[in-house]
Every structure is written in C-alpha cells, then in structure tokens.
C-alpha cells in the first residue's frame, strides 16, 4: 500500500497532509468513452502509473503501461497497428493488448521473456471508461451507479467536460461533500446567504455517504432561478450528494415549492468523477443531466443546457480550483503537523474519510 508521502512521512487519510494513499482495488474513471476513438490512443496517468488505452478491433478496450520495456519511451507516442498492437516510437518493439511484447525487429528477432508490461481491465459504462488497477479480480458489479447517464434525453445532457486540478483528490471530495462552500465561493451562482443556515443531514448507505441540505423559504440562487421562468419568490433549495468510494460523487440539486419533493421542482443531476493522477494532481470529469424542465421551448432548453455547462465550468475553474490548489500548497508547505478544526459542516467529509480509511486499511 502506498502510504508514504513525498516527504517520506507515513500518512493516514484523516491527516491533512494528503499525499498518496490510494484504494487500488476499485474502479476509477480513465476518461469519457467519447474521448477514445476507434483508431486512437489515450494516454493518462492514474495513481502515478502512466497508462495508454486503445480500442481493440472488436470495440473492447485495452490498457497497458505506457512505458516501453526497452528504454522507457511512451508507447502512446507510437503507432497503433492492425491486430490490436502498439509499436513503440523509438526502436519499433510491438506489444499486444495484454502488454506482451510480440515483435522485435532487431538482431535475431528474439523477444526476451521479460518483455512484458502490466495491463489493466477497462469497462465502458455510463458514458465513461472505468479502469481497475488493483491486484484482485476486477468486478464490474462494483462500478458506481451512474445510470442517470444511460440514454438521457439529448436536451437534458450537458457537455462531458474535464479539467486537471492541482490538488490531491481528497481535497476535491472534501469540497464537494461539504456544499456549504457554495454560499461563499459560488455566492449568487450556485448558493446565496439564504442557504448558509440550511439543515444538514448525513446518511450512510453501505459504504456510500449521502449529505443532504434543505433550505426552505429561500431566494432561488441565480442559475436555478433561470431554469424556472415565473418561479415563486421564495422556494426550497435542496442538495443531495452521494459519495461512492473511492472518489466519485453524484449530486441532485435544484429548487422546488416549499415542503415539496425536489423531484417535483427543477434542477440537475451533477456528476463528479475524480481520479488521482498523482498524490497532488487529480483528473476531474464532470457533466450534468437536467430534470424537471419547466417548458418545452426548444431554444430556451438549449440555452439552459449550454449555460449549465459554462457556469459549472466557470464555478470549478475560476472559483473552486484557485482555493483548492492554494490549500494544497499551504498543506504541503506546513512545517508543523496540521490538525483541522472540525465544524458542524464537516460531518459529511469526516464520515467519508472514515470509510476511505477502512478501505485503505483493508488493502494493507
Ligand atoms: S524504447 Fe521502445 S523500442 Fe526502444
Ligand atoms: Fe464548488
């Protein structure tokens, strides 16, 4: 188990200098399915391991370590060949989809028996490519449930977007599972002063942690107000966010009449998939699916669809990322041991860290 920080100190997940530890026997999102064309390769570092993915001729996906056994050139800089092979760009060694070197164009053309790269199982599901990098058998039944992404109406689905966050993945989970920050970092856009006081409820469903917030009698925050032309002056804002180990989150958020169910109002399912690239960088994949469209007006709904994608990207890139990145720098730069002061809003993060720690301990 990798629990050694870059400074060499042993870390636990509940300590704030969050470097390293990964739960390996789980599924992580390597990318959106649409990123991987039939004749293309996708290079991605996941949990410090460089991986190249490509589609085999039968459409299934191969993933092998992206580092030639000879002089360590990235295979992703090479060529895909017929027969589900990759040729190294440097001296032409060829590998099959299992990572086995199957062709050496040099000398007696013998392939050394040690010329083999690790390979990983990849499953395409819920519009994403899920990779299993653990040593136990990959179990597709453990892929987190994002069935909200299975055939949603085109008008409701927003862009499948992504960005790189310069922080440990846990700082991003902390950010998402503690939605009280929306009233500050995203004031006016996704939250406002009315929502600061909202009730927080935390539930555990197996290993999932669900945090719900209810803010009745609120002025609707900017984005949600736009969804509902002629909305009541005061509404109930609700958020329900589910963390699914180790690092994906599913949020249902929006506004409804006071005391009503959110399903009867309007809002969106927000998808957040986090994959550690390294201990201090994280792939962030996100999209959204609207629910409760208040009008059939096609151009209005198209406009909303684009606005959600743009506003969410703006919120993550311009509002979350600067703070989370700066947190990472502060934490890494601390000379003393940091012990976070825990507030009532931290009940969700505290709970998921307990589950994550349990999963990490189980892999030791
Ligand atoms: S580095 Fe790949 S063949 Fe030499
Ligand atoms: Fe945020």
Evaluate whether 27-142 and 147-363 have a shared fold: no
Closest atom, ligand 1, to C-alpha of 75: 2
Give the list of residues 6+ apart from residue 50 with CB closer than 8 angstroms, or none.
Answer: 43, 44, 65, 66, 67, 74
Domain ranges of the chain: 27-142, 147-363
pTM for the model:
0.92
Instruction: Write the residue with the smallest CA distance to atom 3 of ligand 1.
Output: 91
Specify whether the CB–CB gap between 44 and 56 falls below 8 A.
no
- Ligand that lies nearest to the alpha carbon of residue 178, given by its number in the listed order: 2
**Can you give the pLDDT of all 364 residues of the chain as single tens digits?**
333 333 333 344 454 444 458 999 999 999 999 999 998 999 999 999 999 999 999 999 999 999 999 999 999 999 999 999 999 999 999 999 999 999 999 999 999 999 999 999 999 999 999 999 999 999 999 999 999 999 999 999 999 999 999 999 999 999 999 878 887 888 777 766 666 667 889 999 999 999 998 989 998 888 889 999 999 999 999 999 999 999 999 999 999 999 999 999 999 999 999 999 999 999 999 999 999 999 999 999 999 999 999 999 999 999 999 999 999 999 988 888 888 898 888 889 999 999 999 999 999 8
Give the residue, by CA position, lying nearest to ligand 1 atom 4.
91
Percentages helix, strand, coil for the chain, rounded to the nearest 5?
Answer: 25, 35, 40
Closest protein CA for atom 1 of ligand 1: 71
CATH of domain 147-363: 3.90.380.10
In CATH terms, the fold of domain 27-142 is Rieske Iron-sulfur Protein (2.102.10)
- Ligand nearest to C-alpha 88: 1
Q: CA dist 310 to 148, 161, 241, 318, Å?
A: 20, 10, 21, 11
Burial class (CB in 10 A: 0-12, 13-18, 19+), 293: middle
Instruction: Find the farthest-apart pair of alpha carbons in the chain and give their distance in angstroms, rounded.
Output: 80
């Amino acid at each position: 188990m990798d629990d050694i920080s870059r400074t060499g100190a042993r870390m636990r997940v509940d300590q704030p200098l969050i470097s390293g530890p990964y739960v390996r026997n789980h599924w992580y999102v390597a990318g959106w399915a649409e990123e991987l064309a039939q004749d293309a390769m996708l290079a991605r570092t996941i949990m410090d391991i460089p991986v190249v993915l490509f589609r085999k001729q039968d459409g299934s996906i191969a993933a092998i370590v992206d580092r030639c056994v000879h002089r360590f050139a990235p295979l992703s800089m090479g060529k895909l060949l017929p027969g589900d092979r990759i040729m190294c760009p440097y001296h032409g060694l060829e590998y099959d989809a299992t990572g086995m070197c199957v062709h050496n164009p040099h000398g007696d053309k013998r392939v050394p028996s040690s010329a083999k790269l690790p390979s990983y199982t990849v499953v395409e599901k819920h519009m994403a490519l899920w990779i299993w990098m653990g040593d136990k058998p990959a179990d597709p039944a453990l892929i987190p449930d994002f069935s909200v992404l299975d055939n949603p109406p085109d008008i409701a689905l927003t862009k499948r977007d992504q960005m790189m966050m310069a922080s440990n993945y846990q700082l991003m989970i902390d950010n998402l599972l503690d939605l009280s920050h929306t009233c500050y970092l995203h004031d006016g856009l996704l939250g406002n002063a009315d929502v600061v006081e909202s009730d927080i409820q935390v539930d555990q469903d197996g290993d999932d942690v669900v945090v719900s917030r209810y803010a009745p009698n609120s002025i609707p925050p900017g984005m949600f107000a736009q969804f509902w032309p002629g909305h009541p002056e005061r509404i109930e804002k609700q958020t329900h966010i589910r963390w699914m180990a180790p690092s994906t989150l599913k949020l249902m958020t929006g506004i409804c009449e006071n005391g009503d169910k959110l399903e009867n109002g309007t809002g969106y399912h927000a998808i957040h998939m986090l994959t550690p690239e390294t201990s201090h960088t994280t792939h962030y994949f996100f999209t959204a699916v609207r629910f409760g469209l208040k009008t059939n007006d096609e151009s209005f709904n198209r406009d909303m669809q684009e606005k959600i994608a743009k506003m969410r990207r703006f919120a993550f890139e311009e509002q979350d990322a600067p703070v989370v990145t700066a947190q990472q720098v502060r934490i890494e730069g601390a000379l003393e041991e940091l012990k976070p002061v825990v507030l009532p809003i931290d009940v969700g993060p505290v709970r998921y860290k307990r589950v994550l720690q349990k999963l990490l301990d189980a892999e030791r």
